[in-house]
Structure 1
Amino acid sequence: MDKDRIFGTAKEFAGKAEGAVGDMTDDKQTQASGRVREAAGAAQDLYGQAKDTVRDAADTAASYAKDAYEHRGETIRSGQKAMAQTVQDNPLGSLLIAGGIGFALALLMTRQPRRPPPSRWRYYG
């Protein structure tokens, strides 16, 4: 748990208490100060929650990356087996997909460079 979450919750609680005291004494300034402190505490608590979430996501991503790196050979072999099985199950579809990818690459490699559009005004001077 992040310290911002702890301090934010404490500020929020103190703001609620200050607002309640302002309500009991009918003091508008104390009520407003309590609401401001409560809002600041809530914001600090949300900031702490966001930091915790980012930290957890980074730890999870690092864990996945480490696992993938450690088991990279198994991952590649399983991917190759899955690809071979897919080609065996549907050879015509695989051939069409490979041909489409080759056609798209050929179009990209042989594409003419773009020329600027002709200008509307010609200078005859």
Structure 2
Amino acid sequence: MFENVGWPEILVLVLAGLFILGPERLPSAAAWLGRNVRKVREYASGARDQLKNELGPEYDELRKPLEDLQRLRGFNPRAAMTKHLFDDVGDDSSYKPNGHPGPIGNNGTDATKSDNRPLEAGEKPPVDPDLT
């Protein structure tokens, strides 16, 4: 939750608290905040433990989709597209979108079975009309 909060942000918060509350009330306000944060953590862990005890094995089934959502939180679309575009995704012969047999070349042959040679000057690249 607070992984993006660094020392400069904490320093700004302390200085703002010092100006707003004054030096005489700042220590008691910090102690109050610490106590309440600890209480909230205890309530959250108690609720999680109680839910885990009541649900039993179903708790793991509930937890898995939540963990998947947590993993998506760190999703980097640029890295995913780079991996998809530049990794050898064409080597997987089992992947055929929508049951399509594969890209068809200009001469009616299956373009996935080509020799992957560079195009000659003036030669048209293979086209898949379903994808264009």
Structure 1 and Structure 2 fold alike (TM over 0.5): no
TM-score of the pair, normalised by structure 2:
0.29
* Larger relative helix fraction: 1
TM-score of the pair, normalised by structure 1:
0.30
